[in-house]
Structure 1
């Protein structure tokens, strides 16, 4: 089969989207404390391992349209098990592209439970969640299921517009993160401990830049025409730019100063909001959408302190809130040139009602199924580390590693045991330097 321009672009777009997950690792890793940075990045990286395998074995089959499906919610997981009848290059590239979406959706959830989640529980949670939550949502919206043109919802109300993942990716991940937070509880000292602040803001900025770069593949990878790709590209440029300015404006008037963390978070909020609408709004609509998303998410991130839930890295405030903003805004801002007009373009309220109901359904479905998955894991396995492990840091206690080495806490790849750090026992003589390493120094090296 000849490698056409469309297939080449899909190949490139898939690589861009996969690159977003390491970008997310930098974004999240910089936002955590120094003693949790590696664990946070590992939670993103391991999502590539677990989700990629699931997607090839049965996930792609569950999200693929066919006549054999369960009440338009998910397709037969065995119809394409192991991709045994996907032989065409176009089919395989489509599966790979879809897999990168599933990967980063799962990785997004991890930011909500930073600093305190058991890595083993997370590894178990990820393949189950992508099977029971993500794959069904992908099928319902993109695979010919409930919300598609041929689905019951689509025929009763209107087909849901979600070009690149407002419901499937961002509302999905935001709600899942909230449920995990409510199940495993808050970090010790939440809202009081100043050491919960980001430890490496340059990493956050770098991660946001990588995410923005990869998002052009995320949004435009499925473009059907050059004209559509051009519109998506411009919208993916201006919406996050406007959201960044909106977020910074909120900080300036509310806090008295704009921050680099706010700029990075605003960019991500705008990217989230434009994701479902990128092919259906004008550039002016994208700017308006970005401003609203940036302001809304900047205000929403403070709600966790008001309501008392410890969403560590603001997955709820950014991804759920801006995901809802982008999904619902299509009902107002969709242009008639793309086939469906929103309320502001004379299209009536039909599409708006469909978008609102789809967002509500996604939140309820994800909340219920995520709870069914996560609660038994927490009950019988434990989804949270011990207080001692949390105090020392999950990098050292779960992975025997530290992100930063200052000459204490280990030598030659061998780290001081957790028990020694807690009890105050000395590690022993360092033969290379002829000096002893004490527990207090060790604690200082990983306690930032």
Structure 2
């Protein structure tokens, strides 16, 4: 492999971006935790936290190689040597070209994507999953679904001269996905749909109030996600350069527009813009701009975000029409916004803002890019859905996936973790609740 001198500035930016993306998972825990009822908030947050533990270990053992290895020269999977990252300590990243950062920094950055993707799925099955079964699911799903799909989308192979070996199938076909619209959000959204089917509806769904127990936690979580997402998107440039700047500004304006779009729908339909709507709209915009952030102009990012906020606000209510208990709207936000953002590149893609980009339909590029984006969306979505159905039913039929009815009614926190989020004690003097 050719050598390149490590650039300290780029390396520092990537180290910071890696930390930002890790912060997104605790942020997601707050976001999801605030949206559930008091009796299940700890379990909801723990479903995100255990993803950090499980995926981090698997990533070192074989996950990184399975996603980004090239020795097998397969478009569907990387390599498995169980080297524990030992062979890459002194190497440089060559994911389709040389980058002036240590390969361990690249591996750490990509690990954070692998962590948050299964955590996103958990929102679809809030209040009703066994914690141990969820941890087993995270391990199996990451191995069977995320690591291979990351290879399809993100692995550009090992390039030596003009020869490239081991590129992923979709990356080799020209799919444009800068930071994970397909590999992360469509992947997680389709999996969330499958698991919601496997576990079924919550006890009392549509009969009992299941409103968020803490909107301040939801707002805090969305803020942390927004903050961390700058590392998610701008960090995917793998350098502190103009492309990172483009990704950052597009992330900001698309998210702001989506927030406004969601609130507009609420105002028109319900008469009141809500804090939950603002937080959800922001996440919808973040999801939608993720694949497109480095391939479109800022004006297009505003349009993409605005449409995402409107679409996801409308889509989130469809679960009642289809009688699907997607508890925290993983399908309505991540799947819908992920699909829209990925397809939007085929419309708004502009090579004038990024030399490695491709012109979309509105820039005179025809429908070729849109067709490639459609294929990528369909392949990842269908594979994730089918594979998750199989994994979910296998766990349910063996060790059981859903808690018993009385556990769910009494509160999953106390039964699964022997803890409660809020200790309410009575004062011996005045009987007040502290």
Matches of 2:408 and 2:221 in 1, distance apart? 25
The answer (yes or no) to whether the contact 1:341–1:347 under 8 Å persists in 2 is yes
Alignment of 1:16-55 (within 5 A): 16-55=20-59
RMSD: 2.1
Q: Do the aligned partners of residues 387 and 67 (structure 1) sit closer, same or farther apart at CA in structure 2, a change above 3 Å counting?
A: same
User: Is the contact made by 1:65 and 1:144 (CA closer than 8 Å) also made in structure 2?
Assistant: no
- Deviation of 1:151 after TM superposition, in Å, equals 5.6
Q: Please state if 1:11 is matched with 2:26.
A: no
Q: Deviations over 1:120-162 (max 9, x none)?
A: 10011101111110001100011137xx99566566xx40000
1:217 corresponding residue in structure 2: 231
Q: Tell me the TM-score normalized by structure 1.
A: 0.87
Contact 1:149 1:159 in 2 (8 A): no
Report the counterpart of residue 423 of structure 1 in structure 2.
none
Which residue of 125, 131, 138 corresponds with 1:113? Answer: 125
Superposition pairs of residues 289-308 of structure 1, within 5 angstroms: 289-308=304-323
Aligned to 2:60: 56
1:84 equivalenced with 2:98 (yes/no): no
2:369 is the alignment partner of 1:360: no
Distance in 2, matches of 1:254 and 1:99, equals 41
Which residue pairs with 1:347 in the alignment? 365
Question: CA offset at residue 222 of structure 1?
Answer: 2.2
Q: How does 1:313-392 map to 2 (within 5 A)?
A: 313-337=328-352, 338=354, 339-392=357-410
Cα distance in 1 for residues equivalent to 2:7 and 2:373: 37
Name which one, 1 or 2, has greater alpha-carbon Rg. Answer: 1
Runs of 4+ in 1 over 2 A off after TM superposition: 148-155
Structure 1: distance between partners of 2:83 and 2:38: 42
Shift of 1:64: 1.1
- Of residues 109, 119, 131, the one that matches 2:143 is 131
**Aligned equivalents of 1:96 and 1:372: distance in 2?**
30
Q: Deviations over 1:151-197 (max 9, x none)?
A: 66566xx4000000000000000011111110011001112211x11
Report the alpha carbon displacement of residue 67 of structure 1 after superposing the two structures with TM.
Answer: 3.5
Deviation at 1:225, TM superposition (A): 5.6
Q: Hey, what's the Cα distance between the residues in 1 that align with 2:322 and 2:293?
A: 32
Q: Deviations over 1:295-340 (max 9, x none)?
A: 0000000011000110000000000000000000000000122231
State the match for 1:73 in structure 2: 76
Rounded to whole Å, the distance in 1 between the matches of 2:403 and 2:240 is: 49
Q: CA contact under 8 A between 1:23 and 1:206: conserved in structure 2?
A: yes
Question: Residues 89-136 of structure 1, C-alpha deviation per residue, up to 9 Å, x if partnerless?
Answer: 711111110000000111101011000110010011101111110001
CA distance in 1, matches of 2:281, 2:231: 20
2:152 to 107, 123, 140: 140
Aligned residues: 407
Which segments of 5 or more consecutive residues in structure 1 lack a partner in the other structure? Answer: 409-431, 435-443
Cα 1:248–1:149 shift into 2, 3 Å: farther
> Any unmatched runs of 5+ in structure 2?
91-100, 158-164
- Among 272, 287, 296, the alignment partner of 2:302 is 287
Q: Mean Cα displacement is larger for which, 81-90 or 361-370?
A: 81-90
Q: Is the 8 A contact 1:331 1:351 kept in 2?
A: yes
In 2, the alpha carbon distance for the partners of 1:69 and 1:250 equals 48
**Does structure 1 conserve the Cα–Cα contact (< 8 Å) formed by 2:76 and 2:169?**
no
Quote the Cα distance in structure 2 between the aligned partners of 1:316 and 1:153: 23
Give how far 1:65 is off: 3.8
